[in-house]
Chains A and B, each alone.
Chain A
Amino acid sequence: MSEQPISRQTLPEQTLPARAMSGRALRQLPLRILPAPLLLARRGSLGGRGSAHLIERHARAYRHTWLVLASGFVEPLFYLLSIGVGLGELVGRVKFGGQPVGFTSFVAPALLATSAMNGAIFDSTFNIFFRLKYAKLYDAVLATPMKAGDVALGEISWALIRGGLYACAFMVVMLAMGLVHSAWAVLAIPVALLIGFAFAGAGMAATTFIRSWQDFEYVTLTTLPMFLFSTTFYPLSVYPRPIQLVVDCTPLYQGIALLRGLSLGVVGPGLLWHVLYLAVMGTAGLAVASRRIRKLLLR
């Protein structure tokens, strides 16, 4: 991102509402890694380039605790080895898209989607709650030219960068184990980022409503059933119709369906619905989060 210092002359202009900005200025929004729907949103409320400074802060902080970063990669790998490989021996093949696929190949993209979700949720709930309530990080940040939107965008971007690293590492393992069956899988990384964006946005928005550590039980209560039942380990067809409809609506299911389709080469325009779902979820989360941060801290 830009190295330019924020000069005193340019600052007042930056604070203008989006409707006063030219189309060119709008296109320059530093939202390169975020999906298009963000461009529709008002600039001031969703953060700008100040977010890069928060990302830089996190990168620096994690240098002191890099082991914490490493653990995020190991967890889905363990799942893959235990459930995918171990259980796969017993299960054999699963029918997907009309053709039988190996169980490990079936489960691996779902674990990638789950790890994208878990990583984003962990970053955007526990970590942000700690920074918000205990470390007073945002109090310090907001005393500078940074804005609430910068905080929200910076946090979500950081969750994405972290999730992206995990996704890349996991993809390398999948490739090495011969679990990738289609060239479409090159899209798995951006899709993993999209899943991360959706859950980071929603998680961060939810965190601004959390009052105490006890409330995190609700987070687990939401993510664990999703992990277990969103067709992670078996196809949607095992459920009766009404339950299929419910699962069809969960956010993790969108991610799993996307990644599984790409990884196994079962691709159709229907996948775009999942993309839209996740993009809207993340954008809405980001908008709510920056509004709430402003309300909580800029009283």
Chain B
Amino acid sequence: MGCPLGVPKYPAGPVIHFELSQALGKVSDVPDPDALIRASGLTKRFGQFTAVDGIDFELRRGEAFGFLGPNGAGKSSTMRMIGCVSPPTGGELTILGLNPVTQGAAIRARLGVVPQEDTLDVELTVRENLLVYGRYFGLSRQVIAERTARLLEFVQLSERANDHVEPLSGGMKRRLTIARSLINEPEILILDEPTTGLDPQARHVVWDRLFRLKQQGVTLILTTHYMDEAEQLCDRLVVMDGGKIAAEGSPRELIDTYSSREVLELRFSTFEHDQAAEKLTAVPADRIEVLADRVLLYVDDGDAAMAGVRGLALEPLTSLVRRSTLEDVFLRLTGRRLEDG
């Protein structure tokens, strides 16, 4: 088998890079016949408030697809629509070839959902959580028992099988939620902010498990406001802001398209900050971003730029040359930082 969770391996679908193919003058919006999820003009309104404002995307079999954006960008609303627990207000949404409004139960039978907030059953033990949840899918007790053993092993909770849920740590609860979401061997695993609220160590354990799932060919769709999470897990992602999709591509493509190779980060003392920022315009850079506490210079060669800064007789308190990240992409696209929300 080589596939401990019994999830079949799927070949990755054909990859169409929207930005690049458009630049080359190709037709890029041909619907992918293998798409597991297809959304066009997808909209969600709550009264006057528009949470999701006409977004288009496709999810292909076997890929890990991410929604990166700050809190309130419309990520969770999108996930809830995909999870068939929130009817779209407008646009089109097809999941596994079915209509989420009229065929919601049939779709949900084939999805795994890891919600943002833990919804584990605290009146039950770890093992019973998987049993009862599997029963909601109409699975037989025998099938569930057999899968439970494998899944608890996979999320490293076998020793806690008979414990109650409440005393588990945050990371353990998250892992149990992930195990629970896999009980029906879903074709798509939906994760809404899978590591929000976890300490760094617990996050890495969760990432490791998700990465293994990805390698086994499970199709993942996840939201996050952590750029490192998006970079580590996502083959392809959309940057979402204010209910709209600002950009789409692989993490590499997005960085290449929207940011420079390197970034020079400078920190000045508070009273020098504004003055220094003004002077820095003399340094040749693709772009200069002046934040409240730092100045970012987007350049090809960070060290060369640093030499230029010294040439201006500016002495920053700290300086750092680093590679561009998705954080920089987000800053460029929205003018705000991810954690600002």
Contact = CB atoms under 8 A, between A and B. Distances in A.
Given A15-B102, A136-B119, A146 B136 contact: yes
B290 interface: no
Given A6-B109, A60-B128, A299-B46, A15 B139 contact: no
Given A60-B128, A136-B119, A137-B121, A12 B106 contact: yes
A140 interface: yes
A155 to B, nearest CB: 14
Contacts of A3: 140
B132 A135 contact: no
Given A14-B105, A145-B109, A139 B137 contact: no
Contacts of A15: 102-106
B113 interface: yes
A5 B124 CA distance: 22
B122 interface: yes
A145 B108 contact: yes
B121 A11 contact: no
B138 A57 contact: no
Contacts of A56: 132, 135
Contacts of A299: 46, 86
A146 B121 CA distance: 16
A143 B103 contact: no
A298 interface: yes
A135 B123 contact: yes
A199 B128 CA distance: 30
Interface string A1-13: 0011110100110
A145 B137 contact: yes
A145 B138 contact: yes
A156 to B, nearest CB: 18
A266 interface: no
A238 to B, nearest CB: 45
B135 A145 contact: no
A8 B113 contact: no
A162 to B, nearest CB: 15
A145 B113 CA distance: 12
A43 interface: no
A143 B83 contact: yes
A183 interface: no
* B-side interface size class: 35 or more
Interface string B243-265: 00000000000000000000000
Interface in A1-40: 3-6, 8, 11-12, 14-15
Contact of B121 (A65, A140, A143, A297): A140
A204 to B, nearest CB: 19
Contact of A61 (B105, B115, B124, B143): B124
Given A142-B85, A143-B83, A57 B110 contact: no
Contacts of A50: 136, 138
A56 B85 CA distance: 23
Interface string B136-167: 11111001000000000000000000001000
Contacts of B139: 5
B136 A298 contact: no
B57 interface: no
Contacts of A142: 85
Contact of B138 (A4, A12, A61): A4
B168 interface: no
Contact of A298 (B85, B111, B115, B123): B85
Given A139-B119, A298-B86, A57 B108 contact: no
A134 to B, nearest CB: 9
Given A12-B98, A298-B85, A61 B123 contact: yes
Among A4, A11, A147, find the residue whose CB has the most chain B CB atoms closer than 10 A.
A11
Nearest to A136: B119
B109 A8 contact: yes
A140 B120 CA distance: 7
Contacts of A53: 132, 135-136, 138
Nearest to B190: A143
B242 to A, nearest CB: 20
Contacts of B106: 8, 11-12, 15, 145
B211 interface: no
Interface in B254-302: none
A4 B124 CA distance: 24
A15 B103 CA distance: 6
A64 B87 contact: no
B116 to A, nearest CB: 10
A147 B184 CA distance: 17
Contacts of B184: 144
Interface of A: 3-6, 8, 11-12, 14-15, 50, 53-54, 56-57, 60-61, 64-65, 135-137, 139-147, 297-299
Given A8-B110, A137-B119, A145-B106, 18 more contacts: A3-B140, A5-B138, A5-B139, A6-B109, A6-B137, A8-B106, A8-B109, A11-B105, A53-B132, A60-B124, A61-B124, A135-B123, A139-B119, A143-B111, A143-B115, A146-B136, A298-B85, A298-B86
18 contacts: A4-B138, A5-B139, A5-B143, A6-B137, A8-B106, A15-B103, A50-B136, A50-B138, A53-B136, A56-B135, A61-B123, A61-B124, A135-B123, A140-B121, A142-B85, A145-B137, A146-B136, A299-B46
Counting from the closest, the 3 A-B pairs by CB-CB distance are A6-B138, A11-B106, A144-B136
